[in-house]
Chains A and B, each alone.
Chain A
Amino acid sequence: MKISDYELKLKSIQYRRSLLEVIRRAGAGHTSGDLSCIDVLNVLYNRILNVSPQTFKNPDRDRYIQSKGHSVEALYVVLADRGFFPQSDLERLCRYGSPYIGHPTRDIAGIEHNTGALGHGLAFGVGVALAGKSDAKSYRVFVLVGDGELAEGSNWEASLAAAHYRLDNLTVIVDRNYMQITGRTEDVCALEPLERKLQAFGYHVRSVDGHDVAGLADVLGQVPFEPGRPSLVLAKTIKGKGVTFMENVAKWHHGVPNEDEYARAIEELDLARRELKAHG
């Protein structure tokens, strides 16, 4: 049954609470990047992807590949909520001997590919999409890339192939938060004019507020945007979104909140939830 926009919004808040809790407990994580892409993951797993714990081995399943592997806590939280593994497993993040390490691996149910080194997910996704075309499968491939990682040349190699092979079963989502570990993307090594660059590489590009779950669901529900072309969703996001003191502050790239910061973050999220429940 289709989940409502209101329920999606509630989930976004719950996921933010959960990932902060997971990071706080583990003492490690990529906090602000998780907060940046969590709404995209929420919409993908609760509205878009044709995949579940029961169908994960099915060759016809939709594929989600997270190229920005460091935002793994966001992925773990969503997969746990979707029942791929028990919620209690989240307590094992980064523990000795735990499979729940700081980047995605196929040791975890629901994860397609090991990532962590940047600039790898898109080429892999192109391969999966090519196989789908070859076998006339109806599955779709979604790849989430960070904006900072677009400096990796391998993304542009993969983009050439995606356009050349007219992979309209491939959707790339760029988490465009304008930040990377050092600071602003435009100061580190400018990406703009990004949309035009992506269009020039053959993508049909649509921009969307990457925190508006209803808007995201609407846009992602329309892929492919054009037959014979790969789709690209430029999700305009805020790194650290939802916790005001983390937003657009570079140190939260892999900052772990202390007790006081954690309490303040949870307080803000609880307030957001009360307001959502009051006003819908």
Chain B
Amino acid sequence: MAEGFGNMSAPMDQGDNSDSAAPPRANLEVFADTLLELAAGDRNVIAVTSDSRGSGKLSDFARRLPSQLIEVGIAEQNLVGVSAGLASAGKKVFAVSPGCFLSARALEQIKNDVAYSNHPVKLIAISAGVSYGALGSTHHSLHDIAALRAINNIDIVVPADNFETRHAIVEAYRHERPIYIRFGKKTMPHLHRCGQSFSIGRAITVREGTDASFIATGETVWPALQAAELLTGEGLSCRVVSMHTIKPLDSRAVEESARQTRAVVTVEEHSVNGGLGEACAGVLMQAGIAVPMRIVGIPDEHIVSGSQGEIFAHYGISPPGLADIVRKLLSKG
């Protein structure tokens, strides 16, 4: 990933896997540090913010590279339109804004000015999903994956941990297509072993297993992995796949999980409508693979109030909740 990127390689080797001594951090912080490194080495890297430099942990960036940060104020439509213009003139543009506003207020700009016009803006959706917890639905982005899956010419990446986030940002820097990357602000444990590779569009099997598969994305991979640990104690072997790229979806990883285990549970910090789960279901149905399956996410209802962790637990995006779903699916199977 880091080949040929000068001084990126040394820091890339640190903190990019579970064997690292680097303490786990929020994906948001890893994003900000990575972007600052990229920008320090390439003056064409531009961060565009909508009064979001603090939320995006970019205050240090603004201080150190003021000429490479463009502030548009609280104006997400303008954020994306301006970013498209900058990209058309050769800039490597990271448009940074909370996922809730970026993917809803500026959806038409994403669709027309970025995707349809094919200006390779890197859209960075911070504090995505229910990261803002009790601030309520105005601040949740549970629709963004569904909305963007239906738009041609944009990739969607939802990194699970620090390693995936760092690599996603570095790949986005080189990416020649529009891309949307969403993550939260909670400290995320390291999930990957030393030597793990990362490429957009290729899922990572975090843990092998033969009884059931969790196909999870973003900050839900960790509770899925913990659920798999719980089930080990009951003699059940669960695979955990980090489906960090929603589009283009790694269909082969989905099919293999279904063929090689007896049940599939998808997990996402998103509405159950139109997200990862339905994408996987579509793959399996069309491949003629029928296995017991459950889509776990936020149901189509007025969302419960609480912190991200409380909301996860309420909807079963938790080690006991996910373990219970596997038990039920396997007992039916």
Q: Which residues of A contact B (CB under 8 A)?
A: 59, 105-106, 112-117, 119-120, 122-132, 134-135, 153-154, 157-158, 160-161, 164-165
Given contacts A130-B70, A130-B82, 8 further A-B contacts (CB under 8 A): A120-B108, A127-B85, A127-B89, A131-B86, A153-B77, A154-B78, A161-B72, A161-B82
A123/B109 in contact, CB under 8 A: yes
Chain B contacts for A135, CB-based, 8 A: 89
User: Complex formed: what's the CA distance from A113 to B91 in Å?
Assistant: 16
Among all A-B residue pairs, the 6 with the closest Cβ atoms:
A127-B85, A123-B81, A131-B89, A157-B78, A127-B82, A157-B75
A127/B112 in contact, CB under 8 A: no
Please tell me which one of the listed residues B70, B78, B86 contacts residue A158 in the complex, with CB atoms under 8 A apart: B78
The interface residues of chain A, by DSSP majority, are classed as helix
Chain A contacts for B46, CB-based, 8 A: 134
Please tell me which one of the listed residues B72, B87, B89 contacts residue A59 in the complex, with CB atoms under 8 A apart: B89
User: Complex formed: what's the CA distance from A112 to B113 in Å?
Assistant: 11
Chain A contacts for B108, CB-based, 8 A: 117, 120
Who on chain B is nearest to A106 by CB?
B117
Chain A contacts for B82, CB-based, 8 A: 123-124, 126-127, 130, 158, 161
User: Complex formed: what's the CA distance from A129 to B89 in Å?
Assistant: 9
B266 at the A interface (CB under 8 A): no
User: Complex formed: what's the CA distance from A114 to B115 in Å?
Assistant: 10
Could you say which interface size class chain B belongs to? 20 to 34
Please tell me which one of the listed residues A119, A124, A129, A164 contacts residue B84 in the complex, with CB atoms under 8 A apart: A124
B116/A112 in contact, CB under 8 A: no
B86/A154 in contact, CB under 8 A: no
A154/B81 in contact, CB under 8 A: yes
B52 at the A interface (CB under 8 A): no
User: Complex formed: what's the CA distance from A116 to B116 in Å?
Assistant: 11
Chain B contacts for A127, CB-based, 8 A: 81-89
B96-121 interface (Cβ within 8 A of A) = 108-109, 112-113, 116-119
User: Complex formed: what's the CA distance from A119 to B112 in Å?
Assistant: 11
B112 to A: closest C-beta gap in Å: 5
B112/A112 in contact, CB under 8 A: no
Which one of A117, A130, A165 has the greatest number of beta carbons of chain B within 10 Å? A130
Chain A contacts for B91, CB-based, 8 A: 131, 134
B85/A125 in contact, CB under 8 A: yes
Chain A contacts for B83, CB-based, 8 A: 127
Complex A-B: 25 CB contacts under 8 Å: A114-B112, A120-B81, A123-B78, A123-B84, A123-B85, A124-B81, A124-B82, A125-B85, A126-B78, A127-B87, A128-B85, A128-B89, A130-B70, A130-B85, A130-B86, A131-B85, A131-B86, A134-B67, A134-B91, A154-B78, A154-B81, A157-B73, A158-B78, A160-B78, A161-B75
Which one of B82, B84, B85, B116 has the greatest number of beta carbons of chain A within 10 Å? B85
Which one of A105, A116, A128 has the greatest number of beta carbons of chain B within 10 Å? A128
Chain B contacts for A114, CB-based, 8 A: 112-113, 116-117
A106/B81 in contact, CB under 8 A: no
Chain A contacts for B78, CB-based, 8 A: 123, 126, 154, 157-158, 160-161
User: Complex formed: what's the CA distance from A131 to B88 in Å?
Assistant: 9
User: Complex formed: what's the CA distance from A105 to B116 in Å?
Assistant: 9
B113/A123 in contact, CB under 8 A: yes
B248 at the A interface (CB under 8 A): no
Chain A contacts for B72, CB-based, 8 A: 157, 161
Who on chain A is nearest to B43 by CB?
A134
B90 at the A interface (CB under 8 A): yes
Please tell me which one of the listed residues A59, A106, A113, A161 contacts residue B90 in the complex, with CB atoms under 8 A apart: A59
Chain B contacts for A124, CB-based, 8 A: 81-82, 84-85, 88, 113
